Structure 1
Amino acid sequence: MTNICNNLFFDAEAPILYEVDAHIVGSSPATRRMKQMLTAVSPSDAPVMLSGDTGSGKERAATAIHHASGRKGQLVAVNCAAIPGELLESELFGYEKGAFTGADERRVGLIEMADGGTLFLDEIGDMPLALQSKLLRVLESREIQRVGGREHIAVDFRLVTATHRRLTEAVADGKFRADLFYRINVLPVPVPPLGDRLDEIPELIDRMLRDHSEQNTHANLPHFAMDAIERLQAHSWPGNIRELRNVVDRAIVMFPGRMLHAAEVDNFLLLSETDGAPNGKAPGAGIAVGDQDAVLKLLQEKGAIDIRMILRDMEIGMIDGALQVCEGNVTGAAQALGLQRTTLIEKIKKYGIKKP
């Protein structure tokens, strides 16, 4: 009887587990635990809170929950930290024509767009207190009012939130409502940092390259040799999976079709944890002073080095990486890169870089 029950349980969960596996790469103990929790919570309508370091893959986990839940509506993702507080309310609730200056027509809000689907509120800890109380009313009543409107609109959505903050401390400090915290923290799921999943780096790189190839069918992708993988696994990854994605993106741009070894990883791909430069060198240096082996290797492979192209590609990679880390915030990216904001804007336009 036990075996029969176990088989029935497995069969019932199989489609859910398939959806989770389709979105979450890896088989380390930390990732397996996360997948088990995602598989367990996905069928429910109860709120899920994803916690983990910035860049650890919380949005991908939210995507897995949505697709495994079977909900027919869309997944609507909102980064509460990326939208100014005074605009976040109108983005979430929508507004009626004439509600405020510039409201020339009715606009449906993101909560209403998530009706029948999943609303993912990333960085919920950055939501202003006044808006927290309004969100709590929506969760209790399952109704919204557009800004400037009187109509009560019924909404049916699954709420998934994410944060890298310790919300219990924010509650204690009066920066986050305790009643909202208990309302959204029904099913907590921790998302492990990349430092706990180092064995998965080859799988993650393979998935990233495959995703890029599907979007760019004629792309000439790089290849990572074993010593390059070992070098990546020795890195501390303060930026987690987002940082690894930036490394892969730089490799795609700078070394199309090339076999990459540890030297290329050190000199061109990894950013220093202290100054944002490759391997701790001056930005754009690429190859350390006196590193004759790296220079000879490039000369043997290419016959000549186009240093202007190398510096350009590195600058593009660094700007793109800073924008990713700062989630599209140009001011933050400029500070991280040591540039004036106007200078960074000019470079973004010059290189045609798309903000995330």
Structure 2
Amino acid sequence: MDAENILKHILVVDDEENMRHMLSVLLTGEGYLVETAVDGMEAVRLLKDKIFDFVLCDIRMPKMDGLAFLKAAESVEHGATVIMMSAFGSVDTALEAMKQGAYDFISKPFKTDEVVLVLKKAEERERLRRENIRLKRKIAELEKKSGFGAMIGKSKAMQEVFTLAEKVAEHPTTVLITGESGTGKELVAAGIHTKSGRVDEPFIAVNCGSVPENLLESEFFGYVRGAFTGADRDKKGLFEEADQGTLFLDEIAELPLSLQVKLLRVLQEQEIRPVGSAQRKKIDVRILAATARDISEEVQQGRFREDLFYRLNVINIQVPPLRNRSEDIPVLCDYFVKKFTKSLNRPDIEGLSHAALQQLLVHAWPGNVRELENVLERAVILTEGPHILPENLPENIQGSRADNVVDFLVGISSIKEGRRMVEERLIRQALEATQGNKSQAAQILEISYPSLLSKIKDYRVSGP
């Protein structure tokens, strides 16, 4: 649904019935959804209960005038743009109203097109304000390296992920992102949004497993006042908040079957019905979903609807685990060390020692990139010298793929034989850590590529 066609909700506050009637007719004809209040007190009550885009408020009113209303409205998180009007206007009154938060001021009597013009200007101002907020968020995300173009990965596996994500970004296609926990599925989703035509609209991420089941429907679709105990005002759900933008559903396999049915209907019909409402609302939201589970297995076990799976799995992007792309570890380490030396105010740390990097390269990384990030944050805190050493790493990483050397060489008296056994074992470990990448293995072992090939042949070492 085009954002321009969504009705703007406006509250007209004036003690004169004729003025309220005239403005209601005028603004309804201009495509606004209009409600009225006779004074500031009633207006504040309405702001607490409903969502308005604009408030058109008179200054001179009984009980609570316009300036008092502006002050009282500060305690209500209404988000509306307020425009004041008065037949007793002066420059001082206008300045005072704008100082208290009003966007503009109209003097009575006014021509009808004046009111419309001020509202259109306010709409444009609000659009620019939202765009500015989104751009600031986008810049902040890029600075954190969480945008797609800024994701780190030079391995072939990650380059394939980037290429596919780039291709699907410009289309409204639903994408299912799969991969182990900690691999960066949300970063891929955020990157797709950034590269899409929806970049200036909201990107909203929700972990489906973190929302209590009894609150899922109201969180997703919103609710109207009185829908249930405690619903004292209308509230937008995640789909409506993400209208025109992207909604990222992380851990989609955690959704109960009852909500899977409703999600399928939203995907098919592009409309939602808030809890407690008889009216449906059209929405335009791109859905990106992710899961760490084998969702096809979930379908076979009856825990996930097959029709929803096919609806979501138009394009599947599989993010590889860190252990399958060890060539990305050095660049990731470089980025995280720079990040934490800056955020933790440790400019004295220059980087990782070669020995520490070797330990990181051969670790299995069950927690993937998230685990690596946590390990390096800890290391930056504990390091005392200019370089991060193996002893600054967690114990489980210090001993990665390494058996006790003394036990390993028990019964060996020949230095030549012992050296051969150690070399063969180290080569096997390096090849296993790099998934058979001999060039990367040579770097880990600190020997030349031809020398490694020669030793592999001599020791008859096969692939991992």
User: Normalising by the residue count of structure 1, what TM-score does the alignment of the two structures yield?
Assistant: 0.66
CA distance in 1, matches of 2:147, 2:165: 7
Which residue does 2:165 correspond to in 1? 38
Unaligned runs of 5+ in 1: 1-18, 274-278, 280-356
Name the SS of the counterpart of 2:277 in structure 1.
Answer: coil
For residues 115-155 of structure 1, the C-alpha deviation after alignment (integer angstroms, 9 at most, x for no partner) is 11111000000101000000111111111111112221111
Which residue does 2:325 correspond to in 1? 197
Residue type of the partner of 2:226?
G
Which residue does 1:231 correspond to in 2? 359
Which residue does 2:177 correspond to in 1? 50
Aligned in 2, Cα 1:178/1:262: closer, same or farther, shift over 3 Å? same
Task: Give the one of 362, 383, 401 matched to 1:255.
Answer: 383
Which residue does 2:247 correspond to in 1? 119
Asked whether the 8 Å contact 1:48–1:159 carries over to 2, the reply is yes
Which residue does 1:64 correspond to in 2? 191
CA distance in 1, matches of 2:280, 2:291: 29
Displacement of 1:251 in angstroms is: 2.0
| 1:300-315 matches, cutoff 5 A | none
Asked whether the 8 Å contact 1:96–1:105 carries over to 2, the reply is yes
Displacement of 1:208 in angstroms is: 2.7
Residue type of the partner of 1:154?
K
Which residue does 1:85 correspond to in 2? 213
Name the SS of the counterpart of 2:393 in structure 1.
Answer: helix
For residues 167-225 of structure 1, the C-alpha deviation after alignment (integer angstroms, 9 at most, x for no partner) is 111111111111111111001111000011111112112333444567x3845474211
CA distance in 2, matches of 1:168, 1:129: 15
Name the SS of the counterpart of 1:108 in structure 2.
Answer: coil
Name the SS of the counterpart of 1:95 in structure 2.
Answer: coil
For residues 293-327 of structure 1, the C-alpha deviation after alignment (integer angstroms, 9 at most, x for no partner) is xxxxxxxxxxxxxxxxxxxxxxxxxxxxxxxxxxx
Asked whether the 8 Å contact 1:20–1:35 carries over to 2, the reply is no
Which residue does 1:141 correspond to in 2? 269
Which residue does 1:246 correspond to in 2? 374
Are 1:155 and 2:283 matched, yes or no?
Answer: yes
CA distance in 2, matches of 1:257, 1:202: 20
Asked whether the 8 Å contact 1:94–1:109 carries over to 2, the reply is yes
Aligned in 2, Cα 1:141/1:271: closer, same or farther, shift over 3 Å? farther
Which residue does 2:18 correspond to in 1? none
CA distance in 1, matches of 2:165, 2:399: 34
> Which stretch shifts more, 25-34 or 148-157?
148-157
Name the SS of the counterpart of 2:317 in structure 1.
Answer: strand
Displacement of 1:22 in angstroms is: 2.6
CA distance in 2, matches of 1:228, 1:205: 11
Residue type of the partner of 1:123?
E
Name the SS of the counterpart of 1:121 in structure 2.
Answer: strand
Instruction: Report the number of matched residues.
Output: 256
Which residue does 1:179 correspond to in 2? 307
Aligned in 2, Cα 1:235/1:148: closer, same or farther, shift over 3 Å? same
> Which stretch shifts more, 87-96 or 53-62?
87-96
Name the SS of the counterpart of 2:303 in structure 1.
Answer: coil
For residues 47-85 of structure 1, the C-alpha deviation after alignment (integer angstroms, 9 at most, x for no partner) is 000011111110111111110113121110010111121
Displacement of 1:89 in angstroms is: 1.5
Displacement of 1:249 in angstroms is: 2.0
Asked whether the 8 Å contact 2:225–2:231 carries over to 1, the reply is yes
Which residue does 1:25 correspond to in 2? 152
Aligned in 2, Cα 1:256/1:119: closer, same or farther, shift over 3 Å? farther
Residue type of the partner of 2:290?
A
Displacement of 1:258 in angstroms is: 4.1
Aligned in 2, Cα 1:159/1:210: closer, same or farther, shift over 3 Å? farther
Higher relative contact order (CA 8 A, sep 6+): 1
Displacement of 1:271 in angstroms is: 9.1
Name the SS of the counterpart of 1:165 in structure 2.
Answer: coil
Q: Max radius of gyration: which structure? A: 2
Asked whether the 8 Å contact 1:220–1:257 carries over to 2, the reply is no
Aligned in 2, Cα 1:102/1:221: closer, same or farther, shift over 3 Å? farther
Are 1:167 and 2:295 matched, yes or no?
Answer: yes
Give % identity.
Answer: 41
Displacement of 1:228 in angstroms is: 0.8
Residue type of the partner of 1:245?
E
